[in-house]
């Protein structure tokens, strides 16, 4: 949807129509805009493909959305004509309805909550669409989240008294502080804070870090089950922000 808003700004305005429908098995969501259209709509789900100017988009948002939809066993399609606008159609399987609870009260469970429910992850990414998508995935895994759109905003949060168990940050972001520098500064403010960095650029390695410190890197785009595994490993790493192997 944010892509549609950006497209409409390019032509000085227009319409964005959101349509939904469902049946007993499927849920349908459609986003249609009257923007400038896309010359190569078949490429929009490819990692790093973007029609935006340099510095305005990473080309990873839609590729991650494609992965999320596929993970949910759904389909996503795009139709676009130059000068006519663009339409994205998403078809998802409908979740099974929860059984009705006969008793008006339920005895509280004595089983301990999952470990993820007690962990808070600070998610940092300058791309609003990517950040929101990542937060949705992390929340669905049972973690609490705090979000920041810039490294400066993240450092303010880290400097506060808010509980944070792990910093999950993109590496490439505009401004003087990138994800690696953010991780270093965060470690100075909160000793032992665990760090997981993410990047879609294959040539970025942990060897680019400073002061003989490095952090694990989760390569974009990634699937939900991979994110779940890496978060669990990062949170269980007793070395905090010290040396961790890069992920391939």
Long-range contacts of 159-162 (CB under 8 A, 24+ apart): 159/189, 162/120
pLDDT for 228-240, tens place per residue?
A: 999 999 998 744 4
Q: Are the folds of 2-93 and 115-236 the same?
A: no
Distance of alpha carbon 209 from alpha carbon 181, whole angstroms: 8
Name the E strands within the chain: 16-22, 26-33, 75-81, 85-93, 120-124, 144-148, 166-170, 194-199, 216-219
Question: What's the confidence (pLDDT) of residue 195?
Answer: 94
What's the pTM?
Answer: 0.57
Return the CATH architecture of domain 115-236: 3-Layer(aba) Sandwich (3.40)
Of 100-109, 124-133, 170-179, the one with minimum mean pLDDT is 100-109
Distance of alpha carbon 172 from alpha carbon 75, whole angstroms: 29
Q: Output DSSP code: residue 35.
A: S
Instruction: Please give the C-alpha separations between residue 53 and each of 12, 122, 247, in angstroms, as whole numbers.
Output: 17, 28, 30
Cα four-point dihedral sign 217, 221, 225, 231: positive
Per-residue pLDDT for 23 more than 60? yes
Question: What's the confidence (pLDDT) of residue 192?
Answer: 86
Instruction: Please give the C-alpha separations between residue 34 and each of 6, 198, 205, in angstroms, as whole numbers.
Output: 11, 34, 41
Return the ∠ at Cα 130 (arms to 125 and 136), rounded to 5°.
Answer: 105
Q: Per-domain residue ranges for the chain? A: 2-93, 115-236
Return the ∠ at Cα 181 (arms to 244 and 169), rounded to 5°.
Answer: 65
Q: What is the mean pLDDT of the chain?
A: 79
pLDDT for 35-84, tens place per residue?
A: 888 888 878 887 767 766 655 565 667 777 787 788 788 899 999 988 88
Per-residue pLDDT for 5 more than 80? no
Query: 2-93: which CATH number, 3.40.50.620, 1.10.10.10, 3.30.565.10, 1.10.3430.10?
Result: 3.30.565.10
């Amino acid at each position: 949807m944010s892509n549609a808003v950006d497209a409409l700004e390019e032509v000085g305005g227009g319409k964005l129509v959101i349509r939904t429908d469902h049946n007993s098995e499927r849920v349908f969501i459609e986003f249609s805009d009257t923007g400038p259209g896309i010359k190569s709509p078949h490429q929009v789900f490819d990692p790093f493909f973007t029609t935006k100017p340099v510095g305005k988009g990473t080309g990873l948002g839609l590729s991650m959305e494609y992965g999320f939809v596929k993970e949910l066993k759904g389909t996503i399609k795009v139709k676009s004509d130059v000068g006519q606008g663009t339409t994205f159609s998403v078809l998802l399987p409908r979740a099974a309805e929860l059984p009705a609870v006969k008793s008006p009260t339920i005895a509280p469970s004595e089983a301990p909550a999952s470990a993820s429910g007690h962990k808070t992850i600070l998610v940092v990414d300058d791309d609003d669409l990517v950040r929101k998508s990542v937060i949705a995935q992390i929340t669905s895994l049972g973690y609490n989240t705090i979000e920041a759109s810039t490294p400066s905003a993240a450092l303010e949060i880290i400097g506060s008294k808010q509980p944070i168990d792990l910093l999950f940050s993109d590496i490439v972001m505009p401004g003087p502080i990138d994800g690696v520098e953010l991780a270093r500064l965060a470690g100075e403010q909160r000793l032992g804070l665990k760090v997981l960095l993410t990047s879609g650029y294959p040539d970025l390695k942990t060897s680019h870090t400073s002061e003989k410190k490095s952090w694990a890197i989760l390569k974009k785009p990634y699937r939900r089950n991979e994110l779940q595994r890496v978060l669990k490993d990062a949170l269980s790493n007793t070395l905090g922000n010290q040396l961790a192997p890069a992920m391939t």
